Amino acid sequence: MTQAPLGPVVSSAHLANGPLPELSELEFGMTIASNAFARWSVRAMAAAGFTDMSPLEVQVLHSVHHRKRAKTLADICLVLNIEDTHTVNYAIKKLAKAGLVVIGKQGKEKTVATSAMGAHACVRYREVREQLLLQAVAELGIDPDQMSRMAALLRLMSGHYDQAARAAAAA
């Protein structure tokens, strides 16, 4: 007996039953990748010696450390594409309480920069990432240019989801 193909791998078949079921497939891939990445970032930071951090706190710490210059709350939210500034502000307060970031001022605006311990956390995270993740990903044989194209596609798709969210909010 021949079985019918299983079809696209999705978590919500009702969304895949229309035009462009491949978008539902992509959405499911983004969902599980997002959850896996969040889990990885927390566990990698713990392996680096910094526990009790949420995925957002790990992202904010790395964003603040980027280019080793102070950032504003607006800068961090813009780069990470986070609309709810209060969640980032709360993450910054927790990171400051843990001694990983320092709060400063630039004119009237509050700024955030990594402390020496925060910079050390980012370096240790990078070392754990190199030891546990990079070799495994390299063994997949994905061409680096293809990986860059996938990243560009995800950034492009985020713009479409943002535009659709604005349209839904205005509806």
Q: ∠ CA(59), CA(62), CA(65), 5° rounding? A: 150
Q: What's residue 35's pLDDT?
A: 98
In the chain, where the domains are located: 20-140
- Average pLDDT (93-98) is 98
* Residues facing 103 on adjacent strands: 112
φ and ψ at residue 63, rounded to 5 degrees: -65, -40
**Whose CA is closest to 65, among 38, 95, 97?**
95
Burial degree of 94 (CB within 10 A; 0-12, 13-18, 19+): middle
What is the distance between the terminal CA atoms of the chain, rounded to a whole angstrom? 49
Strands 71-72 and 101-106: unpaired
Q: Tokens 């630039």 label which residue?
A: 106
Q: How confident is the model at residue 18 (pLDDT cuts 50, 70, 90)?
A: confident
- Residue 109 is predicted with a pLDDT of 93
Averaged confidence pLDDT in the chain: 95
Global pTM value: 0.91
In this prediction, residue 4 carries a pLDDT of 64
CATH architecture assignment, domain 20-140: Orthogonal Bundle (1.10)
Q: What is the pLDDT of residues 36-75, one digit of tens each?
A: 999 999 999 999 999 999 999 999 999 999 999 999 999 9
77-82 contact pairs (CB < 8 A, 24+): 81/158, 81/162
